[in-house]
Amino acid sequence: MKKEFIFIVASALFLGGCTSTSKNANDGQMTEYENSQMESNKETMRLLSKAALLASKAQAVMAKTEQAYYQPLLDADQIRQARAQNEIIPRGMEKVVPISWAAAPEPVLSMLENASGYKLDYQNQRPPIPQDVYLTTNPPKTIKQLIDSIEQQSVGYIKDIIITDTYDAQLITVVYEQF
């Protein structure tokens, strides 16, 4: 038994020997098959990312459609009332002012403040980078129309421009977006 054990151990050592890896000429390089597999995986991932983008866009359209579907509809009287409120021009805002402007809205708002006789009031902190507004003299516009144009062009910078015309106060309130 002792001889058999020694024989098994010796043959294991002889057959096992010292293993070392030989350097291949391909070290650090991939085979053609590995390259084709990698390219195939890249193409698959690219197609999957496009599919995910399309799915997210479709989901957004579906959500907007559902929101519009469940939104209450206005009747004719509510539409008439909204149009009438939109067409009301506060005192002093009916003056036609020829202003051509392409810069930040604050200086032109102070010019409109002087022309209308209203007081200008700013709410919130002004964002650090102003957004330019573009006003033209053709066609001539009233002060109210110019303020509405400034409000439309400065989305993301000015949240709201509120014109208050009461017995004791005439105020233009500019509410900046929070940043």
Q: What would the pLDDT profile of 86-133 be if each residue is shown by its tens digit? A: 777 788 888 898 989 999 999 999 999 999 999 999 998 888 888 899
The pLDDT tens digits for 130-148 are 889 999 988 889 999 999 9
**In the predicted model, what is the mean pLDDT of residues 74-90?**
79
Per-domain residue ranges of the chain: 97-176
Paired tokens of 31: 């085979």
Percent of all residues in the chain with a pLDDT value above 70, rounded to a whole number: 85
Q: Kindly report whether the global pTM for this prediction surpasses the value 0.75.
A: no
Q: Which CATH superfamily is domain 97-176 in?
A: DotD protein (3.55.50.60)
Query: What pLDDT, on the 0 to 100 scale, is given for residue 44?
Result: 92
- CA distances from residue 103 to 11, 65, 134 in whole angstroms, order as listed: 91, 37, 7
Choice between 143 and 12, residue whose per-residue pLDDT is larger: 143
The pLDDT confidence band at residue 23, using thresholds 50, 70 and 90, is low
**In the predicted model, what is the mean pLDDT of residues 150-156?**
91
Q: Is 79 helix (H, G, I), strand (E, B) or coil?
A: helix
Q: Report whether 102 contacts 132 (CB < 8 A).
A: yes
What rounded mean pLDDT belongs to the chain? 84
Choice between 7 and 63, residue whose per-residue pLDDT is larger: 63
The pLDDT confidence band at residue 67, using thresholds 50, 70 and 90, is confident
Backbone angles phi, psi at 159, to 5 degrees: -75, -45
